Amino acid sequence: MSEQRRPDKPLKGRKNGLYPGISDELEEGMRRGWSDTERGDLEPSEHSGYAAKRRKAVSAAFPGERIIIPAGRLKTRSNDVDYGFRAASDYAYLTADQTENSVLVLEPRPDGGHAATLYLLPRSNRENGEFWLDGQGELWVGRRRSLAEAAAELGLETCDSREAAERIAQAVAAAPDTVTRILRGHDAVLDAALDQAGAACRRSAEEAARLDEELKAFMHGLRLVKDDWEIEQLRRACEVTVRGFEDVVRELAQAVATSERWIEGTFYRRARVEGNDVGYSSICAAGPNATTLHWTRNNGAVRPGELLLLDAGAETEALYSADVTRTLPISGTFSEIQRRVYDAVYDAQEAGIAAVGPGARFRDFHEAAQRVLAERLIEWGLLEGPLERVLELGLQRRYTLHGTGHMLGLDVHDCAEARCEDYVDGTLRPGMVQTVEPGLYFQPDDETVPAEYRGIGVRIEDDILVTADGNENLSAGLPRRAQDIERWMGSLTHPA
């Protein structure tokens, strides 16, 4: 497989290429003899209808302005190997598409509203050899949709993405007073084109950055409340995740014989077979590794008698991710001290989930969970009361470490750039989906706690949908109470 190359490196004369060149006869022959596979039967997908509604909301928020939403580009992993492509979340949200190098442009119409154009990579040209000689040619990477096919499926006008930067720059130059905003940081080519065009329009870099930040905050605010289609996606992500956790429990013996990597690979297999990928690097933390919040090296030993903290989420084909944590006794039953810590985290999670509902402040669930954990830490003699003082000074954080949850959706830490008044200082609304994930972590070298606590880390995390009259736990397919965990593990490892 040494013939693949980057488009900027000509094949002829390629260093260490096994073929010195291409004969005229071969070149001519490769142009001919291919059947027409164009499909004329495609209809707009269900998802594309939702994407159109979302674009309307953007259009209404930015009348008279040009809005540019890039998908992002391939990134080099090493030499001529790229990372797997994952489209930018806002692009996928507004287009129902996930093609690399693409960009959605909302061009303001003089009569109001916007004309939407999707710039996409078309099918490979067979006349100029791109089809088989270019690293992104279809012979190497697989058939793409034609622009007409994509237009039919997505309900959008489509153009060749290789023309996007120039066309946008021309449009900016033709109407210098029209405000142009771009979601920055995804496509260096478009960012640079806009910088140049902006300079020509005498808009300062600071002003352009402010406009772009506003667009980002708006998009993240818009994504806070999920539509019905998104909620179904998150439900599906949780279902796949449940099956991934079951796989891990069934294969714990192999993990004990190898390492945490077996757990990572086991969950990954399920996420890839039933979805697009994992939504984030799985945290497969056995024993004291569970006290490291984002333990993703996953190269530690899995020992009987210790706990496994598994924080993992499958991402659907449409890029919606679950984010679920269970802390499991590797031998199948909790020891007394493990159970004491586990039950405290469970009670904190129950208090947190109970505080999630329409009209509640987003902060309520965090405060409810932290109160329970602080109470227990005082009860166990690890913190000195009174409780209100501990909470006011945040002293419980030495052992609880992180915030109790976050929004969830296309990104695992979803809507992170929304305005604070809409998110962390805001009020919950039906359709929001968040995690509730309290934890207790006693570092192995923490001399402030008795030795029996050291090296224990417990987190329990579920994905909670705010409904019209309360909430729904989308990840309820996995047990949470200690005795239910033990029974469930037993049923998977010793089926009747």
d(Cα 86, Cα 72) in Å, to the nearest integer?
8
Q: Report the half-sphere exposure of 251 (CA within 13 A, side-chain side).
A: 20
The type of residue at 313 is G
Q: Specify the pairing of strand 157-160 against strand 114-120.
A: parallel
> How many distinct helices (H) and strands (E) make up the chain?
17, 17
d(Cα 283, Cα 281) in Å, to the nearest integer?
6
Sheet holding 180-182, edge to edge: 157-160, 114-120, 103-108, 66-70, 180-182
Among ligand GLY, Mn ion, none, residue 65 binds (CB under 5-8 Å by kind): none
Q: Which residue is nearest to Mn ion (CB)?
A: 323
How many of the other CB atoms lie within 10 Å of CB of 376? 21
Assess 435 for contact with Mn ion (CB under 5 A): yes
Nearer Cβ to ligand GLY, position 172 or 436? 436
Nearer Cβ to Mn ion, position 239 or 461? 461
Query: Which tokens belong to 194?
Result: 């806009």
CB of 312 to ligand GLY, least distance (A): 8
Point out which span in 130-138, 317-325, 396-404, 442-450 binds Mn ion (CB under 5 A): 317-325
Nearer Cβ to ligand GLY, position 161 or 266? 266
CB of 240 to ligand GLY, least distance (A): 16
CB of 235 to Mn ion, least distance (A): 17
Nearer Cβ to Mn ion, position 86 or 402? 402
CB of 465 to ligand GLY, least distance (A): 17
Nearer Cβ to Mn ion, position 96 or 433? 433
Nearer Cβ to ligand GLY, position 280 or 399? 280
Among Mn ion, ligand GLY, none, residue 212 binds (CB under 5-8 Å by kind): none
CB of 248 to ligand GLY, least distance (A): 16
Residue 275 C-alpha from the chain's centroid: 12
Among ligand GLY, Mn ion, none, residue 422 binds (CB under 5-8 Å by kind): none
d(Cα 30, Cα 181) in Å, to the nearest integer?
43
What is residue 153's three-state secondary structure?
A: helix
Helices (H), 62-96: 89-95
Assess 323 for contact with Mn ion (CB under 5 A): yes
Point out which span in 99-107, 333-341, 389-397, 428-436 binds Mn ion (CB under 5 A): 428-436
CB of 424 to ligand GLY, least distance (A): 15
CB of 393 to ligand GLY, least distance (A): 24
Comparing CA positions, the residue from 235, 276, 318, 278 lying closest to residue 263 is: 278
DSSP 372-429: HHHHHHHHTTSS-S-HHHHHHHTTTHHHH-S-S--B-SSSSSTTTTS-TTTTTTSB--
Q: By the criterion CB under 6 A, which residues form the site for ligand GLY?
A: 280, 311, 323, 412
What is residue 326's three-state secondary structure?
A: strand
Nearer Cβ to Mn ion, position 316 or 435? 435
Q: Angle of helix 228-250 relative to helix 46-61, nearest 10 degrees?
A: 120
Assess 463 for contact with Mn ion (CB under 5 A): no
Among Mn ion, ligand GLY, none, residue 349 binds (CB under 5-8 Å by kind): none
CB of 461 to Mn ion, least distance (A): 5
Nearer Cβ to Mn ion, position 306 or 323? 323
Q: Mask of contacts with Mn ion, 88-127, x by CB under 5 A?
A: ----------------------------------------
The type of residue at 283 is I
d(Cα 105, Cα 118) in Å, to the nearest integer?
6
Nearer Cβ to Mn ion, position 72 or 439? 439
Comparing CA positions, the residue from 319, 315, 306 lying closest to residue 444 is: 306
Q: Give contact residues for Mn ion (rule: CB under 5 A).
A: 323, 435
